[in-house]
Amino acid sequence: MAIDIGNTAVKWGVFEGRTLLESGYGVPTELLQHARRVLLCASGEVPPVLAEVPHLNAAMPLPIRLDYKTPATLGPDRIAVACGAWSLHPGADTLVVDCGTCITLEFVSADGTYRGGAIMPGLGMNLQALHTFTAKLPLLDVATVQKAPVLGRSTEECILAGTLGAAQMAIAAYVAALKGIAPGLNVLVTGGDAERIVPPGANRREHEPHLTLIGLNEVMEYEKREMKNAK
C-alpha cells in the first residue's frame, strides 16, 4: 500500500507488483491491516493512526540516484514523483510537472539520476496572494478556473492571465529549455490542478494522476528486489 498525505487530501493505492488494484481518498484504516508493505509520503500533517508507518525520505534505498546538493531538504513528494517517472519511463529523460499547492518540476535523466528541478507557487496560492495582499482584487475560486486569456479585458481576466496564464508560459519555457539538452524529453503531468494548468494531450504530455503512489510503490518494489538479491 502507498499513502500520499498532501496539504489538502490523503490519497492511497493498493498495488500487486506494479499494478494499481485500487485507490481512494482518506485514511485507509481497515486496508492497512492487510497490507504486506506500506510506505507513506508526507507533505502535510500526518494523522496519528499513520504515525508509525514508514515515511519516504532521501536516506532510503531508492531506484534512482539523487544528484542534489541538499538531499535532506528534498521533499518526499518530489522524490516519489521522480521515482514514479523512472518507473513509467526507465532509460528516458523525463520531466515531471506536479501541479498541487505548489507547482514543482522534477527532471530525471536517462541514466536514472534525479538532476533537480524548480518550485513555484501553485494556482490557488497565487490567487490567494493577489487577494490577500491587495485592497480590492477579488479572490477567484480555483475550482471555477478553466482557461486564461493572453490579454485580460476585465479584472478577473487579468488575474487569470497573470496566474494561470503565467504558470502555463513558465512551464512551457522550462520544457523548451530542457529540450535543448534532452531532445527526446518525456513530460509527465500530475497533481490536483494538472488539467487546469497543463491540459492532458498538450504537446504530447502524459497525464498520470497517480504518479506519487506509483513512485512510492516503485520504492517498495526496489527494496523487495534488493532484499531478494542479497539472499
Give the mean model confidence (pLDDT) for residues 148-160. 94
Give the mean model confidence (pLDDT) for residues 217-229. 89
Name the residue ranges covered by the structural domains of the chain: 59-123+163-230
Residue 94 pairs in a beta bridge with 108, 186
Nearest Cα to 60, choosing from 218, 230, 166, 181?
A: 218
Report the pLDDT value the prediction gives residue 130, as an integer from 0 to 100.
97
- Percent of the chain as helix, strand, coil, to the nearest 5: 40, 25, 40
DSSP 8-class letter at 156: H
CA 108 to chain centre: 13
Entry pTM: 0.92
Which one of the listed residues 4, 67, 77, 193 is annotated catalytic? Answer: 77
Q: Give the SS3 label for residue 107.
A: strand
Answer yes or no: is pLDDT of 193 > 60.
yes
Q: Is 77 annotated as catalytic? A: yes
Question: Whose grid coordinates read 542534489?
Answer: 68
Answer yes or no: is pLDDT of 201 > 60.
no
Report the pLDDT value the prediction gives residue 74, as an integer from 0 to 100.
96
Answer yes or no: is pLDDT of 199 > 90.
no
59-123+163-230 has CATH 3.20.20.70 classification: no
- The pLDDT-based confidence of 132 (bands split at 50, 70, 90) is very high
Give the mean model confidence (pLDDT) for residues 138-147. 91
Answer yes or no: is pLDDT of 68 > 90.
yes
Answer yes or no: is pLDDT of 62 > 90.
yes
Cα(181)–Cα(183) distance, rounded to whole angstroms? 6
